[in-house]
Chain A
Amino acid sequence: MDLPLFESVSGVHPPVNFPDYRSNVLRSPKHPLVVLPQNLTETTAPVFGEDRIGPTDGDLTKQFPEEPIGQRIVVHGRVLESDGRPVPHTLVEIWQANACGRYRHVVDNWPAPLDPNFSGGGRALTDAEGRYTFTTIKPGAYPWGNHDNAWRPAHIHFSVFGRAFTQRLVTQMYFPDDPLLPLDPIFNAVPDEHGRRRLVSRFDITRTQPNWALAFEWDIVLRGSRPTPFESGEDHDD
């Protein structure tokens, strides 16, 4: 039995109960979580192939006959484990608001325009080195009802599978120097300042395409595995 055991994530993620985020109040469990051992189900994950990816899923500016309005951007980075090992061929899914901060979604009805040439959804598989790339439009900020004059900072939602159920991650990527970040309860639910910083992408001049698109780099780091006690080589008789 040499299944990987994935490291503790204590203190990394937001707490289960975080009432500053109003929708959390009636939806978060009140009983403490029960520790689940990492057995076969937890240390394996589905494997997705190219059949999950449509031809324009990696370029959200090419999904309609005409281009969407807004600042064209390249968002790229790697999916890694915490020891730096890349996670190859893993599925990355994104969704976002348009340049005006409006989602193409039935429950988003604030008075900002929809863009008929922008769906807001994308998918990609990482390459052998764990790299992903999307071309899209920089999303706008938008108001929400959490508290008086609340605005979400511009963000892109990301969903990543990794190679184990324990690594499943849904999160949001933010943009550097956004003045709304210190005011956002969702961003600030992350307990540690370094953790919050890891949600913010970096402007990347080296991948910025001349006369075409600004680039932002953002690595996604999943919890890593550590050797099991049975792998430590101490099973010999002295």
Chain B
Amino acid sequence: MTEITPSQTVGPFLHIGLPWPDGAFAVPDGTPGAIVIAGTVTDGAGEPLPDALVETWQAGGEGRRGFGRCPTDEHGGYRITTVRPPADATEAPHIDVAVFSRGLLNHLVTRIYFPDAAENATDPVLASVAADRRDTLIATATDGGYRFDIRLQGDRETVFFDV
């Protein structure tokens, strides 16, 4: 473990190296049942981050299917097209999220859950989170998809995980 390479910030110039033209599509455009998950990344002053990168990962796909990557726009917005993952034996449907930005020396990890999933009631990860913060992990339904805002700090700070 002593040999592990430490993390450093992605910095403000990540756009030179990381975004892909098809990055926001965790499933190919036009996939039946595709949903859009969109939201805003904000800081402790409530200001949007125009220079963050949101990555999403859900198990069960082949190749890069299930992986999405979207830089935030000038309003802090991101949007990922994917399909809703199934529940597994122990956990409710969820998508893992990694947030990278200038100012973060390590990426932050959170999870997207779905508001209408009955399995949320018995999900062990949701149960491990303080009840008054649990809703920061649950997306809200919108026309054709879901909204999932990521608040790095302050009022209704998103729950982040140590994985």
CB of B17 within 8 A of CB of A159, answer yes
A16 at the interface (CB under 8 A from B): yes
- B102 A23 Cβ-Cβ under 8 A: yes
Q: Are B124 and A199 in contact (CB under 8 A)?
A: no
- The CA of A123 and the CA of B62, in the complex, are separated in Å by 21
- B44 within 8 A of partner (CB): yes
Contact across chains for A121 and B17 when beta carbons are under 8 A apart: yes
Interface of A is mostly: loop
- Is the CB of B81 closer than 8 A to any CB of chain A? no
Q: Is the CB of B7 within 8 A of A121?
A: no
| CB contact list, B122-162 vs A, under 8 A | 124-125, 128-129, 133, 152-154, 157-162
Smallest CB gap from A160: residue in B: B5
B101 touches A27 (CB 8 A): yes
Which residue in chain A gives the minimum CB-CB distance to B43?
Answer: A26
Of B9, B12, B59, B160, the residue contacting A41 (CB under 8 A) is: B59
Residues on A facing B (Cβ under 8 Å) = 7-9, 12-16, 18, 21, 23-31, 33-42, 44-49, 52, 82, 93-97, 103-105, 107-108, 119-123, 157, 159, 165-166, 168-172, 186-187, 189-190, 194-196, 198-199, 219-224
| Beta-carbon contact of A48 and B162 below 8 Å | no
Quick check: A35 and B162 within 8 Å, CB to CB? yes
Give every chain B residue within 8 A of A33 (Cβ-Cβ): 160-162
Q: How many A-B residue pairs have CB under 8 A?
A: 216
> With A23-B102, A27-B44 in contact, do A46 and B57 touch (Cβ < 8 Å)?
yes
In whole angstroms, what is the CA distance A228 to B2 when docked?
20
Partner of A103, one of B16, B61, B104: B16
B103 touches A34 (CB 8 A): no
Contact of B163 among A27, A30, A46, A166 (CB under 8 A): A166
Task: Give A39 to B163 CA distance when docked, in angstroms.
Answer: 10
A172 to B17 Cα, complex, angstroms:
13
Q: List which B85-116 residues lie within 8 A (CB) of chain A.
A: 88, 90-91, 94-96, 98, 100-109, 111
Residues of A within 8 A of B44 (CB): 25-27, 30
Give A198 to B106 CA distance when docked, in angstroms: 16
Partner of B160, one of A18, A25, A34: A34
**B98 to chain A: closest residue by CB:** A168
Q: 21 pairs across A/B with beta carbons < 8 Å?
A: A9-B1, A21-B103, A27-B103, A27-B153, A29-B153, A30-B44, A30-B153, A33-B162, A46-B65, A47-B62, A94-B17, A95-B18, A108-B12, A108-B13, A120-B13, A157-B10, A168-B98, A170-B8, A170-B107, A189-B105, A198-B3
Chain A residues with Cβ below 8 Å from B47 are 26
Q: Which residue of chain A is the closest to B7 with respect to CB atoms?
A: A13
* Chain B interface (Cβ < 8 Å from any Cβ of A): 1-18, 20, 43-45, 47, 49, 51, 55, 57-59, 61-67, 88, 90-91, 94-96, 98, 100-109, 111, 124-125, 128-129, 133, 152-154, 157-163
Contact A34 B100 (CB under 8 A): no
B3 touches A41 (CB 8 A): no
Q: How far is the CA of A20 from the CA of B125 in the complex (A)?
A: 33
Given A26-B44, A108-B12, A172-B8, 15 other A-B residues pairs in contact with their CB atoms under 8 A: A14-B6, A24-B103, A27-B104, A29-B158, A36-B111, A37-B124, A95-B16, A95-B17, A121-B16, A157-B8, A166-B163, A186-B105, A195-B4, A198-B5, A221-B4
**From B6, B17, B90, residue with most partner A Cβ within 10 Å:** B6
CA distance A29 to B9 in the complex (A): 15
Query: In the assembled complex, how far is the CB of residue B102 from the closest CB belonging to chain A, in whole angstroms?
Result: 5
Smallest Cβ-Cβ distance to A196: which chain B residue: B6
Q: In whole angstroms, how far apart are the Cα atoms of A172 and B57 in the complex?
A: 23
Q: Is the CB of A29 within 8 A of B161?
A: no
